[in-house]
Structure 1
């Protein structure tokens, strides 16, 4: 057992009161997958650089991630988040629908030879429209346009139920499972109490 990354025993493990647990699946692709047929963004939808300001970033982060309990960048210290936003090795792109930010693509090239798909998603109203597939095609093309050997991402059981299959169909292969336990952000005030209704609120 590693003290910094303990291994859970078989069977049930208790989760502290006021916390949430999620099974995290990490996936990777070690070579560029076969190119998919072009799937352009629909009329009125574009992909553009996201303003590298805390306000613009967190507004989009909330719009895309609130239903899935995205909270890490909301509770992160402003100076820490600004350092990430200022990092030239991280690409921040906004999917814009009729001039309004409606999706996020964050590619982190900070580690030599690899790219992390750090954040990826669209607003609830765009889920199932095909926009996500077009955005993923763009993510894959951008990642492998650099001299990388590994493109990776993680998802969890709090995400959209189709997320894991979507990543696998995109060419990612699972390589690790972990369990993440964290204070419920709906109880700490980081997110509204009435969001993420697919996750029971136990206070």
Structure 2
């Protein structure tokens, strides 16, 4: 896909929400159209294992999703009925890979191969393991798993709720932004599936 010369790689300014109890968010969509040319990143020191949950149980998946995502206001899959979520994560074309450090879950990524484009649907570290230089290696591993498994194109999205280093990390690994979309959602901490303590970097405006 040719890059649009008019497209700005810089995320636009975040507009204010139109009414109390709502949040504005900017979603950035990115893609990678060829496997990475650079050598695999050096594996971090320590007792690390990357294990596919094949298949993951609903409760274990929710533990990963909730623990990794709560600081960044991940809420969509907390809202899904159990059977609907299980249909997704138990599909053989969906892969959930868990990073273990000294036998303890430290993060995960999810590859969804159910469409023509392979989607890096979720990626992140459990808060206790952020800042230990695991993120770049885990992302590099996710990218290589995707291509080794037959990806034709790899896509991912991130948003302004996420860690501020998320978008630069994706770009440093070879993902190219294709579009920014501004949305407004009801704050999931107000009568929703997330506790009010989630996403402390984003004020609650009621």
Q: How does 1:159-198 map to 2 (within 5 A)?
A: 159-198=162-201
Give the aligned partner of residue 125 of structure 1. 128
Give the aligned partner of residue 83 of structure 2. 79
Instruction: Please tell me the root mean square deviation across aligned C-alpha atoms, in Å.
Output: 1.8
Q: CA deviation at 1:12?
A: 5.7
Q: CA deviation at 1:59?
A: 0.7
Give the aligned partner of residue 92 of structure 1. 96
Q: How does 1:21-170 map to 2 (within 5 A)?
A: 21-50=24-53, 52-112=56-116, 114-170=117-173
Structure 2 gap segments, 5+ residues each: 1-13
The count of corresponding residues between Structure 1 and Structure 2 is 192
Q: If the length of structure 2 is used for normalisation, what is the TM-score?
A: 0.87
Is this contact kept in 1: 2:17–2:184, CA < 8 A? no
Q: CA deviation at 1:100?
A: 2.0
Q: CA deviation at 1:62?
A: 1.3
Structure 1 gap segments, 5+ residues each: 1-10
State the SS of the aligned residue for 1:17: coil
Q: CA deviation at 1:37?
A: 4.2
The verdict on how the C-alpha distance between 1:14 and 1:35 changes in structure 2, with shifts beyond 3 A counting, is closer
Is this contact kept in 1: 2:118–2:154, CA < 8 A? yes
Structure 1 ranges of 4+ moved more than 4 A: 11-14
Q: If the length of structure 1 is used for normalisation, what is the TM-score?
A: 0.88
Q: CA deviation at 1:102?
A: 1.8
